[in-house]
Structure 1
Amino acid sequence: MNNDDRWFQGHLKDLDPAECWELLAASEVGRIAYVDDHGPLALPVTFRASDGSVLFRVSAYSQLARHLPGADAALEVDDFDYFTRTGWSVLLRGRVESVDSDALPPEQDRPTPWPEGLRSLYLRLVVDTVSGRRLLEA
């Protein structure tokens, strides 16, 4: 590493849980990570975060529907700026459970999937731990 590289490196700051949840509330896309028969896997999902959990929708016949209910998983959400070399990342860890229709929040508080197709199965990541970091400008 030369002197010019060190000049432009940013500083990492740990985020407290409240700030992590604020960032999550303003986001709608993340990557859900879990382990299947072939090892670790991370897939993008749209979600809604609130009250210590994250709600997302999947197709009832998808890999996510087969592997996630009852499994441990993590959700990673981030944002970054290439020009300023700044950004943040939040990581949630917990257990995924299926959500019955009578336990769903009002329609306006449910996630809206971006891809086409029917996604009728609601899953919730019940969060055990939350952590985050922000990369600040040098």
Structure 2
Amino acid sequence: MSRLVAQVDELNRLLATVRGALPPALAATCIAVALENGVLQVGVTSSAAAARLKLSGEAIVEAVCQAGWHATAIRPRVQVELQRQKARRTKDLSIPPAAVEAFGQLAERLDRGPLRDAVLRLAKRHRSR
């Protein structure tokens, strides 16, 4: 686990280095990095950001090398999956009838108290849908 934490810290420092070498507006579009065989892959939010990042490639590679990593090239990647997604409203969420029934059975087995009351409210609210 500590090895994984160290890798995440290293990637976060690398991402901060990349962002530090860019204008703030462009830096905000950089959402992920990876360094493999000297190629710095930078995940960005749009193809326009990828094009602008390529233009700044030499400055980024130089900044990364000065910070202690060995990079020879930069490869921007548009990361559609990592873009901020619109959160689903809780009103759009539903619980299947079998799960509602299971919550009802759970509430019957719980001791009186706030947990039981909360589970009962949950089951009642979703039964009416």
Length-normalised TM-score, structure 2: 0.31
Length-normalised TM-score, structure 1: 0.30
User: Which structure: larger Rg?
Assistant: 2
Higher share in helix: 2
Considering Cα pairs closer than 8 Å and 6+ residues apart, tell me whether 1 or 2 has the greater RCO.
Answer: 1
Higher share in strand: 1
